């Protein structure tokens, strides 16, 4: 039987962090002394298996090896504890329901209430016996390989919020972490876990298409209006095919960047209030709408159809489908055997390129356009959490900090970019296929990154598409009214 947050927390007690942590020292300086004795800190690596898993079995060995290397380095430092790494493979949990994104009106159009729950289920089942099914002890530190787990781990009390585990307010300097990565794992003013790696959105562009149109490559001070003007020159249809300046109609990364860069906010500083109906946010949403309906530099699929972005190192394209996919179907457009009706080249897009979507050939990264400011969306991929069942949560927090530091020095990213003390050289080290120019742009973007609170991030695409994007583009709602409706939907979700 699943335990509640209160009953799970009742199993454990925490102790304060070492006094050196509160003395104003640097983030990783003198974190632990030898007074804790030779305690063992158990680190559990949770990797899902089966359909929908983010990590395949072949990749688990690489992750485990990197963590073991880091643990060995830490153990050699005689910090007063020994770190033991255990791999736990967990069954797949329910997948996020994207039916609402595709316009489905039946069969649970809202997101599932507890997406991706295998870690929480595994630890709840193990709590009564005091050990995991593998025979390993309950972990002091959790290496979370799917950040969509975070809301349930927090609400069920399976993790101790990281800054709460330290028991020393303001004692840890997190300024060397990418701001968006921290924001995306924080709730009510405190980080729930330490982020290890993240995906990051940049403005990507096809250098060949820009050159053919006589458009200069985006510069570091490109404004949104300059992007729109370039988009007009890059959008056309003729006997050689069709081409769009950018992709926008279902692009949450683009929409968030527009809101933030115009001075708007999605949530308040504590994550408890939605601010999408405020004037600054409205301005960003209106420009997103205008890119599609007024300037017509991005496709606006007719009602009952949709278009999706496809990208690789050899090009980007928009693929249009002539009907919405059916729930549970397969084939062309992601369901119901839908086949593409049109393909169009794509010159620019706000997206996370990763190792496959950027390269020396033609698809490159550019700085995000600016207005009142500059911002882009970052999504954590992996993190370290302190187990609420840890024998010594304070020591576990110290050990997690040391482990995060050690991992930041290894060529491992857990399928994302590193987020601690990042440089372009470090980005290129973990993604050798990148040009150093692209690596530097990604590093800079991490510095102006923003995040979405973890309790809402898994639902964001469906919420925006159903309550804001769809109604605005179909003419069923004004931007102001749609912003109010999506705000209400978000607030209701937060109250659940």
Question: Could you tell me the CATH number of the domain that includes residue 93?
Answer: 3.40.190.10
Q: Please determine, for residue 271, whether its predicted confidence score (pLDDT) is greater than 90.
A: no
Question: In this predicted structure, what is the pLDDT of residue 89?
Answer: 74
- For the segment 253-275, the average pLDDT, to the nearest whole number, is 88
User: In this structure, what token pair is assigned to residue 235?
Assistant: 């959008």
Q: Is residue 22 part of a domain?
A: yes
- For the segment 215-220, the average pLDDT, to the nearest whole number, is 94
Q: Are residues 206 and 195 in the same domain?
A: no
Number of domains comprising the chain: 3
List beta partners, residue 314: none
Q: Are residues 31 and 115 in the same domain?
A: yes
Q: Please determine, for residue 34, whether its predicted confidence score (pLDDT) is greater than 50.
A: no
Structural domain that includes position 312 = 202-248+299-367
- For the segment 152-173, the average pLDDT, to the nearest whole number, is 74
Q: Are residues 169 and 292 in the same domain?
A: no
Q: Please determine, for residue 450, whether its predicted confidence score (pLDDT) is greater than 60.
A: yes
Q: Please determine, for residue 91, whether its predicted confidence score (pLDDT) is greater than 80.
A: no
Q: Is residue 258 part of a domain?
A: yes
Q: Is residue 1 part of a domain?
A: no
Q: Is residue 2 part of a domain?
A: no
Q: How many residues does the chain have?
A: 496
Q: Are residues 317 and 272 in the same domain?
A: no
Q: Is residue 357 part of a domain?
A: yes
Most confident of 5-14, 72-81, 93-102, 127-136: 72-81
Q: Please determine, for residue 323, whether its predicted confidence score (pLDDT) is greater than 50.
A: yes
Most confident of 77-86, 104-113, 155-164, 168-177: 77-86
Question: In this predicted structure, what is the pLDDT of residue 59?
Answer: 61
pLDDT in tens, 272-297: 689 999 999 999 999 999 999 999 99
Q: Please determine, for residue 17, whether its predicted confidence score (pLDDT) is greater than 50.
A: no
The residue that leads in pLDDT, 441 or 382, is: 441
Question: In this predicted structure, what is the pLDDT of residue 305?
Answer: 85
Q: Are residues 431 and 411 in the same domain?
A: yes
Rounded-to-integer distance, Cα 258 and Cα 203, Å: 12
Q: Are residues 25 and 98 in the same domain?
A: yes
Q: Are residues 17 and 62 in the same domain?
A: yes
Report whether 340 contacts 321 (CB < 8 A). yes
Say how many C-beta atoms besides its own lie within 10 A of residue 349's C-beta. 27
Question: In this predicted structure, what is the pLDDT of residue 11?
Answer: 29
Question: In this predicted structure, what is the pLDDT of residue 425?
Answer: 93
Q: Are residues 141 and 156 in the same domain?
A: yes
Q: Is residue 372 part of a domain?
A: no
Tell me which of 112-121, 152-161, 212-221, 257-266 is least confident. Answer: 112-121
Question: In this predicted structure, what is the pLDDT of residue 109?
Answer: 46
Q: Are residues 397 and 274 in the same domain?
A: no
Q: Are residues 357 and 491 in the same domain?
A: no
Q: Please determine, for residue 141, whether its predicted confidence score (pLDDT) is greater than 90.
A: yes
Question: In this predicted structure, what is the pLDDT of residue 105?
Answer: 47
CA–CA–CA angle 412, 413, 416 (5° rounding): 160
Question: In this predicted structure, what is the pLDDT of residue 336?
Answer: 45
Work out the mean pLDDT of the chain and round it to a whole number: 80
Last residue of a domain, one of 345, 367, 389: 367
Question: In this predicted structure, what is the pLDDT of residue 318?
Answer: 94
Q: Please determine, for residue 241, whether its predicted confidence score (pLDDT) is greater than 80.
A: yes
- For the segment 88-111, the average pLDDT, to the nearest whole number, is 52
Last residue of a domain, one of 330, 345, 367: 367
Last residue of a domain, one of 320, 343, 367: 367
Q: Are residues 226 and 182 in the same domain?
A: no
Q: Are residues 39 and 126 in the same domain?
A: yes
Strands of the sheet with 315-321, listed across from one edge: 236-238, 241-244, 340-346, 315-321, 306-312
The residue that leads in pLDDT, 424 or 52, is: 424
The residue that leads in pLDDT, 465 or 61, is: 465
The residue that leads in pLDDT, 12 or 381, is: 381
List beta partners, residue 89: 47
Counting residues of the chain whose pLDDT is more than 90, the rounded percentage is: 41
Q: Is residue 311 part of a domain?
A: yes
Q: Is residue 346 part of a domain?
A: yes
């Amino acid at each position: 039987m699943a335990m509640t947050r209160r009953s799970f927390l009742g199993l454990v007690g925490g102790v304060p962090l070492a006094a050196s942590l509160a003395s104003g020292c640097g983030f990783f300086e003198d974190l632990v002394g030898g007074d804790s004795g030779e305690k063992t800190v158990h680190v559990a690596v949770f990797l899902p298996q089966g359909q929908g898993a983010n990590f395949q079995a072949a990749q688990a060995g690489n992750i485990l090896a990197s963590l073991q290397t880091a643990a060995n380095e830490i153990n050699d430092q005689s910090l007063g504890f020994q770190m033991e790494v255990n791999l736990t493979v967990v069954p797949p949990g329910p997948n996020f329901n994207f039916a609402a994104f595709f316009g489905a009106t039946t069969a649970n159009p809202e997101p599932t209430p507890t997406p991706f729950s295998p870690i929480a289920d595994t630890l709840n089942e193990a709590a009564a016996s005091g050990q995991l099914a593998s025979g390993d002890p309950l972990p002091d530190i959790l290496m979370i390989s799917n950040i969509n787990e975070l809301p349930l781990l927090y609400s069920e009390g399976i993790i101790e919020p990281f800054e709460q585990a330290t028991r020393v307010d303001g004692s840890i300097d997190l300024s060397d972490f990418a701001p968006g990565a921290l924001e995306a794992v924080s709730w009510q003013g405190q980080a729930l876990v330490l982020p290890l790696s993240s995906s990051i959105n940049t403005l990507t562009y096809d250098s060949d298409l820009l050159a053919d149109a006589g458009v200069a490559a985006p510069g570091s001070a490109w404004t949104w209006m300059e992007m729109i003007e370039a988009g007009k020159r890059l959008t056309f249809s003729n006997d050689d095919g069709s081409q769009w300046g950018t992709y926008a109609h279902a692009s949450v990364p683009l929409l968030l960047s527009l809101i933030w860069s115009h001075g708007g906010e999605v949530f308040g500083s504590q994550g408890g209030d939605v601010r999408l109906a405020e004037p600054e946010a409205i301005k960003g949403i209106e420009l997103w709408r205008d890119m599609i309906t007024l300037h017509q530099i991005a496709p606006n699929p007719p009602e009952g159809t949709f278009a999706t972005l496809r990208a690789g190192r050899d090009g980007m394209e928009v693929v249009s489908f002539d009907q919405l996919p059916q729930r549970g179907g397969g084939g062309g457009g992601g369901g119901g055997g839908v086949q593409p009706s049109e393909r169009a080249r794509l010159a620019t897009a706000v997206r996370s390129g990763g190792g496959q979507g950027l390269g020396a050939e033609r698809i490159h990264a550019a700085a995000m356009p600016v207005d009142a400011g500059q911002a882009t969306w970052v999504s954590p991929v992996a993190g370290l959490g302190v187990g609420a069942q840890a024998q010594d949560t304070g020591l576990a927090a110290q050990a997690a900090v040391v482990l995060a530091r050690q991992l930041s020095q290894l060529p491992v990213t857990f399928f994302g970019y590193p987020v601690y003390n990042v440089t372009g050289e470090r980005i290129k080290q973990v993604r050798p296929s990148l040009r150093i120019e692209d690596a530097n742009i990604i590093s800079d973007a991490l510095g102006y990154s923003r995040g979405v609170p973890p309790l809402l991030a898994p639902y964001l695409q469906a919420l925006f598409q159903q309550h804001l994007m769809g109604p605005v583009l179909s003419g069923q709602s004004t931007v102001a009214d749609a912003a109010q409706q999506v705000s209400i939907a978000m607030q209701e979700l937060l109250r659940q």
